[in-house]
Structure 1
Amino acid sequence: MKQYLGVDIGGTNVKFGVVDTNGNIIKKKKYPTVSVSEGGDFCAKFSKLLAKRLQKFPDIQSVGIGIPGTISSDGSSTLDLPNVNGLSNKPLVSILKEDFPDLPIVMDNDANAAALGELEFGGEELPDTYIFITLGTGVGGGCVIDGEIFKGGDGNGLEIGHIMSSTGKTIEENIGKAGIIEMAQKYKEEGILSTNLPDEFDAKMVATLAHDGDELALKVFEEMGKSVGELIVSLVRVLDIKTILIGGGVSETFDYLKGNMYSVINEFLPNYYTDKLDIKLATLGNNAGIIGAASLGVSALK
């Protein structure tokens, strides 16, 4: 069975995963991002780590790399990666192709990779055209049109987390993990809602308390639902695409936010859109980064 290598570069870890043709991860290995960045030559260290993976798995057909940021229009270089020290504005793919000239290597934004991964390896059949929204530490997005990633004018379209909102902040600032914490802190200080939230907490604690029925935590995700609804209205109006997948860590709280999300959608979208609107959770879960990255390489071989 053919094998593909997916690499998910994140602010905390660089994760390598060998993926088979059915989307199963055969082997995973991760390295702290700070250790790969140490010394200022991320690309050289990354190349050595890649060589180790290829030595252990010589049948790798292609390499896909997902990064948390923007890339050059030709896909050969990184641009702005604020959470990965030492990898902004680096010709990563160009360097790797010099080191591995016979190996197809593809790089893209991690949300784009995750979006494509759902088409290649997802747990259910999808149309060839859909929007993908990831809700996690930040808010990201991708779009697949006729089976291919929509790139935008210069390769970095669908940066939906940076869309401005009526609050004067971006969508990501409103409902990313920092936004969840800020919202919960505000409600806690008001003291109106019943809560078991401790003085020091993170977004994961808010989600856990929501599962336990905590009044304040549920209010946070209900408010978050309004922002997600507004985002979907904007995306559907611009792209006229009616299948939407929602992934990322915060998607586990979808049941708490979907009520307000649909209220906003039904208020601002006419029947032309809502009659066929299909919003559902993505299927790849915590493995979306690796499997999505691997799908980039699979797509390159077609």
Structure 2
Amino acid sequence: MSAAKYIGIDLGGTKIAGILADAGGEVLHQEKIPTRTEEGQEKVIARVFGLIRTLLAMAGTGEVKGIGLCSPGPSDLKAGIIIEAPNLKWKDLPLIALLEEEFNLPAVLENDANAAAYGEYVYGAARGRKDLIYLTVSTGIGGGIIINGKLVYGRNYSAGEVGHMVILPDGPLCGCGRRGCIEALASGSAIAREAKALLLKEHQRAPGQVGLLWEITGGDPERLTAKEVGEAATQGDPLALSVLEKAFGYLGVALGNLVNLLNPEIIVIGGGVAALGPLLFRPAVRAMEATAFAHMCRDLPVVPALLGGEAGTKGMVALARQKIPAGV
């Protein structure tokens, strides 16, 4: 009898990633295609189906036992319905029912940050741990929490929205409509926004004193991204360094509060902004240790994620393997 295989799909606002993997998580084949949300819901679903067909074709007949799919935003995981995915402009979509009808295979749905957390737990940086906090820091900030080896879901599957912990009640407006969320203070978008404002202010104060960050933007701060702020900071630009120090100090306060609440074994940080390495981890850990109880921080690893862009797809393979019997 052939070994069971599973398909993991990570459905994002800009790309759809898919893998075919065995029960041990070894990736046998992978594909990535653009989402093209501008083409509308039906065409995006058709692209998801096309990607799954490609992966099924790489497996032997009857070997794929199930499909795991993660997407951004809140979902009713039990019913398999995406309640709202703002980046995709979807609402109340019964995607799992559509998948099962199309492929005659069992399928499971998960939030993308939870899937990445589970991927790191099973195959990545948190392997061998039972209690962990996972944060993804990129354009926004998301998270997943695992306690005693199980994802924490909450009453309506919405637990883990760490990006919307309010750290500064009178702080900048967040996309969720509230002020001072950690996402509005420490995400890639927040870093770019803060750097733009400071850069313009500095240029108005001393137009002749053009710094590295100004040179990187070609004199147009509106072009500034968090990646460019990071590049300038690695070269010692004072303005860029001050922006990152402030942003990741706030991130550390959020981590400290989570540590006090959950007492984890490990904290894993992924996402594009985490690529800044020590520029993120040093101020964040320093602020975490100043916020949380000392005995909870002692010997607490705060580490970068290992799986990168495969965290979501591998997490969905692991969750599909867990929730779908191999004998189906």
TM-score by length of 2: 0.83
Q: More deviation in 199-208 or 177-186? A: 199-208
Structure index of larger Rg: 2
- What is the CA-CA distance between 1:245 and the residue it aligns to? 0.8
1:33-48 to 2 correspondence within 5 Å? 33-34=35-36, 37-38=39-40, 40=42, 42-43=44-45, 46-48=48-50
The 3-state SS of whatever aligns with 1:88 is strand
Q: Which residue of 2 aligns with 1:91?
A: 94
For the structure 1 residues 288 and 245, does the alpha-carbon distance in structure 2 shift closer, same or farther, using more than 3 Å as the test? same
CA distance in 2, matches of 1:181, 1:155: 31
Q: Deviations for 1:93-132, whole angstroms, at most 9, x for unmatched residues?
A: 122222333x231111111001100122115633111111
For the structure 1 residues 238 and 51, does the alpha-carbon distance in structure 2 shift closer, same or farther, using more than 3 Å as the test? same
The 3-state SS of whatever aligns with 2:275 is helix
Q: Mind listing any 5+ residue stretches in structure 2 that lack a counterpart?
A: 172-178
2:196 aligned partner, one-letter code: Q
Q: Which residue of 2 aligns with 1:140?
A: 142
1:242·1:273 contact (CA, 8 Å) conserved in 2? no
Q: Which residue of 2 aligns with 1:190?
A: 201
Q: Mind listing any 5+ residue stretches in structure 1 that lack a counterpart?
A: none
Match of 1:30 among 11, 32, 42: 32
CA distance in 2, matches of 1:29, 1:35: 18
CA distance in 1, matches of 2:318, 2:196: 39
TM-score by length of 1: 0.89
Q: Kindly, what percent of the aligned residue pairs are identical?
A: 28
2:110 aligned partner, one-letter code: D
Would you say how many aligned residue pairs link Structure 1 and Structure 2?
A: 300
- What is the CA-CA distance between 1:210 and the residue it aligns to? 2.5
Match of 2:16 among 11, 14, 17: 14
Match of 1:248 among 256, 268, 271: 271
- What is the CA-CA distance between 1:5 and the residue it aligns to? 1.2
Instruction: Work out whether 1:100 is the aligned partner of 2:103.
Output: yes
For the structure 1 residues 123 and 232, does the alpha-carbon distance in structure 2 shift closer, same or farther, using more than 3 Å as the test? closer
Match of 1:226 among 249, 253, 257: 249
CA distance in 2, matches of 1:260, 1:201: 22
CA distance in 2, matches of 1:244, 1:124: 8
- What is the CA-CA distance between 1:16 and the residue it aligns to? 1.5
2:4·2:23 contact (CA, 8 Å) conserved in 1? yes
1:97 aligned partner, one-letter code: E
Match of 2:81 among 77, 82, 96: 77
- What is the CA-CA distance between 1:42 and the residue it aligns to? 4.4
What is the root-mean-square deviation of aligned Cα atoms in Å?
2.4
Instruction: Work out whether 1:162 is the aligned partner of 2:164.
Output: yes
- What is the CA-CA distance between 1:288 and the residue it aligns to? 1.7
CA distance in 2, matches of 1:267, 1:34: 44
Instruction: Work out whether 1:202 is the aligned partner of 2:222.
Output: no
2:191 aligned partner, one-letter code: I
1:4·1:62 contact (CA, 8 Å) conserved in 2? yes
